[in-house]
Amino acid sequence: MTVRLAIEGAIASVTFDRPEARNAMTWAMYEQLTAICTQLRDDTSIRVVRFRGAGGEAFVAGTDIAQFRDFKTGEDGVAYEKRIDACMALLESLPMPTVAVIEGWCIGGGLAIATACDFRIATPGSKFGVPIARTLGNCLSMSNLARLVAALGRPRALRMLLAAEMVSAEDGLAAGYVAELAAPADIDAASDRLCNKLAQLAPVTQQVSKAALNRLLARDLPDAEDLIRRAYGSADFHEGVNAFVEKRSPKWSGQ
């Protein structure tokens, strides 16, 4: 298993354990994450769920790009985004508070996972981003975009998506996206403090408050399949994937 679950008392810890690839998510890892969230969703003994990456260099450095080489048309992109949306929606809808513990890179799919969590603590120097305008030439689903804008604001989301800029942990703290910064030597203690605090508060209040905020976020989201189909069906997307795998700079055509 490359996504592992450990339970200690009322706190569940989920670890993305593929440090040799900066914990980049494979299809199997998304399936493991879905299974774990399904298990935790109905476990009333769990009061907090903590997510973190193994190795200390990354939370999750996106989805494993090599898998995209099998995509042929825009419909593959639509199917992929639906699959990821279902996983993120399940994580977001966990009734108990969720905490992302971030050390290093938090990119692409990793940013989606962290943003679907309720709280984020990070080490100084950690980086958050969706540099797809520089790398793959694909796009975000409407629900992932809505979470990003709600968490970081439209100006930062625009800088991330249109200019491929990274947001530092310090900027994330200033924006309220990161709840706390902690040095690498102190991150475990900071994580334990936050999780223990959350585990001692009123669970029904936490549950209904989360559900209400999620309903506000999801209300009246427009359909975006045409945009996803256009991005994933483009020649630029295939060029971006090939260039990434071949470790070269992509040559964008606008097609």
Domains and CATH numbers, the chain: 3-184 (3.90.226.10)
- Residues counted in the chain: 255
Say whether pLDDT at 183 is over 90.
yes
Q: What is the pLDDT of residues 188-227, one digit of tens each?
A: 999 999 999 999 999 999 999 999 999 999 888 999 999 9
Mean pLDDT, range 173-184, rounded to an integer? 97
Q: What is the pLDDT of residues 50-75, one digit of tens each?
A: 999 999 999 999 999 999 999 999 99
Q: What percent of the chain has pLDDT over 90?
A: 98
Question: Which pLDDT value is given to residue 172?
Answer: 97
> For the chain, what is the largest distance between any 2 Cα atoms, rounded to a whole number of angstroms?
55
Say whether pLDDT at 131 is over 90.
yes
* Predicted model pTM: 0.96
Going by C-beta distance under 8 Å and a sequence separation of 6 or more, which residues neighbour residue 246? none
